[in-house]
């Protein structure tokens, strides 16, 4: 019962926040004499971001630190010779989080490089 009440209060506060955002957001005019708000600008930026991320061909997952240099070399060769759009992992995150990121970026293919494959 208490959890249900908390959910209702949270939903109400969120709705009020959205209404305040629309009510008090600053409107600007563009060169085309169209009015838009900062919310519209955020939506446009989000759409541009989606277009960029959907253009990724390959995401290279690195299993350990030793494979980072190898992955960068492979990515460089594929970019220069074939013009493939590649994202290389250099943040030393877990394999699971790297696979999530590849999925989030809509990568068509994933290359997994580990210590055993670095010569």
Residue 36 has pLDDT above 70, yes or no: no
What are the E-state strand segments in the chain? 28-29, 35-36, 58-62, 86-88, 109-113
* Distance between CA atoms of residues 99 and 63, nearest Å: 11
Per mean pLDDT, which range of 26-30, 38-42, 110-114 is the poorest? 26-30
Closest CA to 105 of 53, 61, 58: 53
Q: What's the pLDDT at 99?
A: 93
pLDDT tens-place string over residues 37-46: 667 776 777 7
């Amino acid at each position: 019962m208490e959890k249900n009440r908390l959910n209702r209060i949270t939903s109400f506060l969120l709705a009020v926040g959205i209404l305040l955002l629309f009510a008090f957001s600053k409107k600007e005019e563009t060169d085309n004499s169209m009015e838009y708000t900062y919310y519209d600008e955020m939506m446009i930026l989000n759409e541009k971001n989606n277009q960029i991320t959907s253009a990724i061909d390959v995401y290279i997952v690195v299993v350990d630190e030793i494979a980072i240099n190898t992955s960068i070399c492979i990515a460089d060769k594929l970019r220069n010779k074939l013009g493939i759009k590649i994202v290389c992992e250099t943040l030393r995150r877990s394999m699971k989080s790297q696979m999530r990121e590849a999925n989030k970026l809509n990568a068509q293919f994933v290359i997994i490089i580990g210590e055993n494959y670095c010569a």
